[in-house]
Chain A
Amino acid sequence: MSDTKREIRHFIVETFLFGQDSGLTDETSFLEQGIVDSTGVLELVAHLEKTYAIKVKDEELTPDNLDSINSIADFLAKKRA
């Protein structure tokens, strides 16, 4: 597992799952599993912008970019390329 994925997983587990990560895989859909709601998306974006020194544009706020650990890692890789 990459450092980025590890860090994202840690954030998701600590922020939304109160430290209980049972069943959370890198492919788990946050929306389908009810892990992240609209406030959670804002929390996630704030974390990514602060931690990775990126600016997430309005049009980038999509499930394709932010709905799983894998999609976030891919999104960050593109943003930092």
Chain B
Amino acid sequence: MHPEKTASDLLAFDCAAETDRIAASLRAYLQKNRRRGLVLGLSGGIDSTVTAALAVRAVGAERVFGLHMPECQSEDATLVLSRSVARWLAIPDALEDITPLLEAAGFFRRYVEAARKVIPEFENSWKSKVVIHATGGSQTFSYFSLVGQSPDGRNVTARLSLEAYLEIVAATNFKQRTRKMLEYYHADRLNFAVAGTPNRLEYDQGFFVKNGDGAADIKPIAHLYKTQVYRLAEYLGVPAEIRQRPPTTDTYSLPQGQDEFYFALPYQQMDLCLFGKNRGLPADTIAKAAGLDVPMVERVWADIDRKRATTHYLHLKPALVESVPEVSS
């Protein structure tokens, strides 16, 4: 038990040793599977930047290939920052604007059609985002709203029906799946493997698209809390402009924080709650470290369980009716 530990103590770890451990694991994976390097998507965010830096530590800059994959709804800062990461690490990179692929897949048309089910005047020129709302006490129900903004700046918010919600999510998932398709294209042509970039909070809570950003050959930071990813970033010398950028989904055309769409609290507090739950620490220890009250910690723990149950399916490999032992690993 850690009755008087501060938030910073609880998630402390040896950055140098962890860097060496991850680098060794990446090299072992590549050697075992006879791949010559690593491809990854660069978003200009903390997770992909740290993953890229670790990949460079593991196999050298010339064996890491970075992809910039913005689309017309991405934040302007995304490409600027992701390019600055490639320059900082001196890795080969390529720009793949995914807008034409999204257009060909019908993403924009499908999204507008779904949005019009709850905001009839919605047009492709509008910006929008999906926002989660939680109601109730220790056991909560969540529901989602679409926030639309017309070109003249008028905001409209409407609760999403089941049909509209599912269609918007399904259409938006084209973005992550299109990016992954391109990552594997480059991995195949280079004989590289694909590195995924989720941190522990995202991985544990299912904050990824199945066969989209959830797909990868190796996920080097999936065991690290986001707070630890930031510490590793500092250790690895990640430029301040990346470390200071607030976490964003950069998925919808209106700015949207991860805690607005998926997580109940900012990542620092979510990390502490998840860590405390995983280690079986008392709720009051976590409450003190996170600056929360005990009932709130208990609500977050219940929400963690609920998200684990809801997103369990995302982690599953394709099910077989009967095992095929000759090829199972």
Q: Is A58 within 8 A of B141, CB to CB?
A: no
Chain B: interface secondary structure? mixed
Q: Is A42 within 8 A of B310, CB to CB?
A: no
Partner-contacting stretch, out of B91-99, B159-167, B291-299: B159-167
| A17 is an interface residue with CB less than 8 A from chain B | no
| A46 is an interface residue with CB less than 8 A from chain B | yes
Q: Is B310 within 8 A of A62, CB to CB?
A: no
| Residues on the B chain within 8 Å of A32, using CB | 139
| Residues on the A chain within 8 Å of B306, using CB | 31, 37
Query: Measured between alpha carbons, how far is A42 from B162 in the docked complex, in Å?
Result: 5
Q: Is A58 within 8 A of B165, CB to CB?
A: no
| Residues on the A chain within 8 Å of B133, using CB | 58
Q: Is A37 within 8 A of B309, CB to CB?
A: yes
| Residues on the A chain within 8 Å of B136, using CB | 62-64
0/1 per residue, A32-72, Cβ < 8 Å to B? 10100111011101100000000000110111101100000
Cβ-closest chain B residue relative to A64: B136
Q: Is A38 within 8 A of B141, CB to CB?
A: yes
Distance in Å: Cβ of B141 to nearest Cβ of chain A: 5
**Interface positions of B from 131 to 176, Cβ below 8 Å from A:** 133, 135-137, 139-144, 159-163, 165-166
Query: Measured between alpha carbons, how far is A8 from B156 in the docked complex, in Å?
Result: 33
Distance in Å: Cβ of A14 to nearest Cβ of chain B: 16
Q: Given A31-B306, A64-B136, decide whether A39 and B141 contact each other with a Cβ distance below 8 A.
A: no
Q: Which of B139, B163, B310 contacts A37 (CB 8 A)?
A: B310
Q: Given A37-B309, A39-B162, decide whether A31 and B139 contact each other with a Cβ distance below 8 A.
A: yes
Distance in Å: Cβ of A23 to nearest Cβ of chain B: 17
Q: Is A58 within 8 A of B143, CB to CB?
A: yes
| Residues on the A chain within 8 Å of B161, using CB | 42, 46
Q: List 29 A-B contacts (CB under 8 A).
A: A29-B139, A31-B306, A37-B306, A37-B309, A37-B310, A38-B143, A38-B310, A39-B162, A39-B165, A41-B141, A42-B143, A42-B144, A42-B160, A42-B162, A43-B162, A45-B143, A45-B162, A46-B162, A46-B163, A58-B135, A58-B143, A58-B159, A62-B135, A62-B141, A63-B136, A63-B137, A63-B140, A63-B141, A64-B136
Residue positions of B touching A, CB distance < 8 A: 133, 135-137, 139-144, 159-163, 165-166, 306, 309-310
5 new A-B contacts, CB < 8 A, other than A41-B143, A42-B143, are A29-B139, A58-B133, A58-B135, A61-B141, A67-B139
